Amino acid sequence: MTAPKPLVAGNWKMNGLKEALSEFQAMGKGYGAELQSAVDLMICPPATLLYTMSVSAVGSGITTGGQDCHQNASGAHTGDLSAEMLSDAGASAVIVGHSERRADHGESDGTVKAKAEAGWRAGLIAIVCVGETEAERDQGATLDRIGSQVAGSVPDGARADNTVVAYEPVWAIGTGRTPSAVDVAEVHAHIRKELTDRFGEEGAQMRILYGGSVKPGNAKELMAVENVDGALVGGASLKAADFLGIAAAYG
């Protein structure tokens, strides 16, 4: 059984105006053939930049994705974007269930599952996020919490080519704190078991990303952990040097 090709995906969150496209173009210039053979790169910009970035990405090898979608294809949902709209703007994937969406918008596992299915409907890869809070970790409930989120958020029919799972320890996002390699290995092994028990060979091949204060300085150690198939990167994906520095863990 061959290991899945790693993916390093950048989540720009609510950051980036038009001038930020120069950083994206610099990423494309630094993403040469050798690195392309080793790792897939993706940027998920704010929706205002998605179409322009997707056009700019042509020929660079970098793909683009959305940060969220509505579960319906269309309708009276002011301010929301459907997965079909993201696809129409050039996206190949969509992040669903990010901890900030779960916390700020009260998204349940059921909602995340419906959004993942919407992504599939539009031909997008669903990047399904799971993760525990600091309180849950302190209570020793990490694996139970992660297991329940995987069970409730990843839909039936998930395959290696349409689903990525991203583990984000909520307490490490943007804080500078990072779990040890042992901690990451334990959680990723648990996710892998959940996926293989449910989906068999597809679950064994599904990419599991680590997300939580990933930087060029710690990427090599984290990306070498068993069952870590890449990273979901926040702030460090805004600068070409940092993002390429993380990708270089595979170069």
Counted residue by residue, the chain has a size of: 251
Q: What is the set of active-site residues?
A: 98, 168
> Which CA distances in Å does 168 have to 131, 134, 245?
5, 11, 20
Token digits of residue 93? 């994937």
- Going by C-alpha positions, the residue among 8, 6, 7, 15 that lies closest to residue 235 is 15
Token digits of residue 116? 């993942």
**Beta partners for residue 94, in sequence order:** 66, 126
User: CA-CA distance, 116 to 98, in Å (whole number)?
Assistant: 12
DSSP-derived 3-state class of residue 163: strand
